[in-house]
Amino acid sequence: MSRISHLEGPQGHHEIDRVGPVILLGVPGAGKGTQAKRISAHYQIPHISTGDMFRAFVRAETTRGRQFWEYMQRGELVPDKIVCEIVAERVLQRDCQRGFILDGFPRTVTQTEWLIKFLAKHHLTGGGGVVVLYLAVGYNSLFERLSGRLSCPSCGRSYHRTTQPPKHDNVCDFDGATLIQRGDDSPEVIRERLTTYEQQTLPLVEYFRTHGRFYQIDGTEPADVVTERIYNALDACRGTAA
Ligand code: AMP
């Protein structure tokens, strides 16, 4: 029997089964969404994308959705309090007990401090702390990555006109829906989003580098290479404490 196979978390889950919680950090366009979907399918843990959640509110055309869209189309962040409430509700659901992957959250120091306390309070880390994967991508390629990006409005899968095209023009390989360009992937909003990232999110990279299990992965490598490196990192820390 392995040294740790008998350990159980407060909810009775075997710690050897736990994955993360995983935080994916990286500038918009670094490939977080693509990688998060793969990790989610491979390890059978939920993919929690705050951006996807906000876009679902926008599609539902609720008052809240309209408010979110205002922030998103300016390339600004939705206020911390609202984002944290939405994340709290999601990660307390039962399917998150074995672990989950956060994509696009946290994005500010306030969100980070809240998250660390919240996970500890609800025993959601199994004592091991979070696993942070930083997809590092130079700024030069980002404009091209973001402006060529296409996504499926139905399943959320991401494509790129030149680097990761669908099998048939503008059609999702998975469910056949017509692909769209995100409203906030226009040149003006991209510029704002990158500025927002630099000012509010980039400092988190240095914070996590010195706190807990941190892996920097070259996000400019082909997507399959990045995925393999991520799996190696996650397999290496399964069931291990920080
Ligand atoms: P994303 O799909 O992650 O690029 O997010 C799209 C937009 O949703 C961002 O530009 C923000 O306006 C908003 N958003 C997503 N996640 C967060 C977050 N953690 N905090 C604040 N705003 C967010």
pLDDT in the model for residue 240: 52
Whether 193 is a known active-site residue: answer yes
Does residue 16 have a pLDDT over 80? no
Task: Answer yes or no: is pLDDT of 8 > 50.
Answer: no
Q: What pLDDT digit, counting tens, does each position of 184-224 carry?
A: 888 888 889 889 999 999 999 999 998 879 999 999 898 99
The reported pTM is 0.85
Ligand 1 center to residue 5 CA distance, Å? 37
DSSP 76: P
Ligand 1 pocket test, pick from 55, 107, 149 with the greatest ligand atom count within 8 Å of Cβ, gives 107
Burial of 81 (0-12, 13-18, 19+ CB in 10 A): exposed
The residue that leads in pLDDT, 15 or 82, is 82
Assess whether pLDDT exceeds 90 at residue 37.
yes
Locate 99 and state its tokens: 């672990």
Which of 53, 72, 76, 147 is the best mutation target for the ligand 1 pocket, counting ligand atoms within 8 Å of the beta carbon and taking the most?
72
Q: CA dist 103 to 1, 14, 53, 85, Å?
A: 34, 25, 11, 16
Q: What is the pLDDT of residue 200?
A: 93
Is residue 6 predicted with pLDDT exceeding 70? no
Nearest to 89 by CA among 100, 78, 77: 100
The pLDDT, as a whole number, for residue 74 is: 92
Q: Is 64 a residue of the active site?
A: no
Cis peptide before 28 (omega within 30 of 0): no
Q: Which residues line ligand 1 (CB under 6 A)?
A: 28, 50-51, 54, 71-72, 75-78, 83, 104-105, 107, 111, 184, 193
Q: How far is CA 165 from the centre of its chain?
A: 22
The burial class, CB within 10 Å (0-12 / 13-18 / 19+), for 55 is buried
107 in catalytic set: yes
Please give the mean pLDDT across all residues of the chain: 87
81 tagged catalytic: no
pLDDT exceeds cutoff 70 at 157: yes
